[in-house]
Amino acid sequence: MSIRRQCYEWRNVTGSPTTPFILNQYPVTALNRFYTHALSRGKAVSIFNGGIGNNLDIPAELKAYQYVVIDSIGVWPPSLHAQIVVNTTRYFQDPDNVPSRQGGIGGYIVPFPNGQNEFSAPASMFSPSILNYDYTEGLIPAIIVQPGDSWDIQVTNQATSSSAYSNTDVDSLVNKCFVKYLLIDGADSIVAKRLIDAGWPLTVENLWQYKQDLLRTHLYAGLAPLPETVEKARRKV
């Protein structure tokens, strides 16, 4: 397939208190069997290969015929912030055009999962659900990663104390990040390039619309009447 919907979930969790990360595996979600690993305050950590939680053995990078469209992101807890990085560009910025000093967009704005309850460990109580009201339709406009570019999602903990728990059964104590994106490759990467050059949003609907219009144009071209000189020309048998 040339157009594929993809997602990636990261958690600061492994199955061992002495192993801070696991490679090329799904995030650990089994209750009473996981260990969370602390994130240092103010330090950005890659969710792909930052050395904490479920990681990949290579960084995210596109081939010469691939596009990625990042259109949704979420983090938890509220003290965790997520930053989208493409090459050397950090997309979430403060009003003075400096990359976000907090580390990106926070869990109060884009909670994952949406409607998560915040847990207070000392009081053993849950707060009311935190809902995503501002980014219900994802990132608009979406962030386009061009062929050959490298990209990353980095999370930064801004809590006064980072979380490290053993065998906890409270999922809201886990640091989480979720990113959803569209992967375009093969012949559809040519269509994607045409849409970008024309200034159209790179969406599944626009990709299909462009291909349908192109096919319709070729079909109608075959039904067009022939020029008079061609119509009256002698035909060779």
pLDDT tens digits along 92-122: 999 998 999 899 999 989 998 887 766 555 5
Entry pTM: 0.83
In tens, the pLDDT along 28-64 reads 766 566 788 889 999 999 999 999 999 998 888 888 8
Confidence category of residue 125, pLDDT binned at 50, 70, 90: very low
Which of the four pLDDT bands, split at 50, 70 and 90, describes residue 164?
low
3-state secondary structure the chain: CCEEEEEEEEECEECCCCCCEEECCCCCCCCCCCEECCCCECCEEECCCCCCEEECCCCCECCCCCEEEEEEEEEECCCEEEEEEECCEECCECCCCCECCCCCEECCCCECCCCEEEEECCCCEEEEEECCCCCCCCCCCCEEECCCCEEEEEEEECCCCCCCCECCCCHHHCCEEEEEEEEECCCHHHHHHHHHHHCCCCCHHHHHHHHHHHHHHHHHHHHCCCCHHHHCCCCCC
